[in-house]
Each structure stands twice: as structure tokens, then as C-alpha cells.
A = this chain, B = another copy of it.
Amino acid sequence: MTIRMDKAALTEFLKTAFPQVHGDFQIDAVRSNSVTVRLLTAERHLRPGGTVSGPSMFALADVSIYLAILSRIGPRALAVTTNCTIDFMRKPAAAAEMICEARLLKLGRVLAVGDAMLFSDGMTEPVARAGLTYSIPPGAAI
């Protein structure tokens, strides 16, 4: 499977296309079917007690799988999230960065499906697990 956008290209895309949030995320790795993305945890991502908020974890999982799709179909596409399921399983470490391991399970003509495992940096057990589905606009997919 060809990678159409690598780490540098995806980082640049994030900056241009999502100016509101690009500073929240750092792309650590891009592989043929998966990406590793980091939440650069800041005050605005935290809940009382210093744990990363649910919406921030949602955002991390969403952007990660979105980037995994783009790495394969290139920047012309505009995939839209249609479904997200998250299981919150453990309390994140206070104020720690979060690391998301996201992989594509399916990249179809109309739908893409990915899953993501979210870790607090330094913890071995996952904090959350997410599955997301995206609708791929006509002409966009491979």
C-alpha cells in the first residue's frame, strides 16, 4: 500500500487545513496502514484533577484516523466522520501527553473504518479505545 502523504506532508496539511487545532497535535510516525499521533496536552485539554478531557481524547482519535486515511488517499479528499465509539477504560495520568496508535481497518470506495488505542505517555495499559467510520466523497478514494 502506497503512502501518498508522509509525516512532513501530513504535518503541513494539518497546519494549513486545521489552523484552530494543529498546535494540539504532533505526528510521531506514519506507516503504510497506521499512524502515531501525540496530543500536546495543555491546560485547555484538562478537566478538574488534571486529567485529559473526553472531548480531547475524541479529538485525538478523530484526527489520527483522519490522517491515516489522508496518508493513503492524498490531500484532495475530504472524509467526513460519520460514527465514533469510544470506551474510556482508565484514568489518564495527570497532565501527561497522550499517544494515539491508529490504524485503518478498511479503506473502501465510500466508507473507511479505523480504530485507535490511546495511552498516557508512560503508561502501558490503554486509557481509551476508539472506533471511527468516515464517509469518503465520490472520486476521493482509491
Contacts and interface: CB of A to CB of B under 8 A. Distances in A.
Which size bracket describes the interface of A in this complex? 35 or more
A54 B133 contact: no
A103 to B, nearest CB: 11
- Residue in A81, A84, A110 with the greatest tally of chain B CB atoms within 10 Å: A84
B47 A82 contact: no
A17 B47 CA distance: 9
Interface string A44-56: 1011100001111
Interface of A: 17-20, 43-44, 46-48, 53-56, 58-59, 62, 80-90, 105-106, 108, 110-111, 113, 115, 125-126, 129, 131, 133, 135
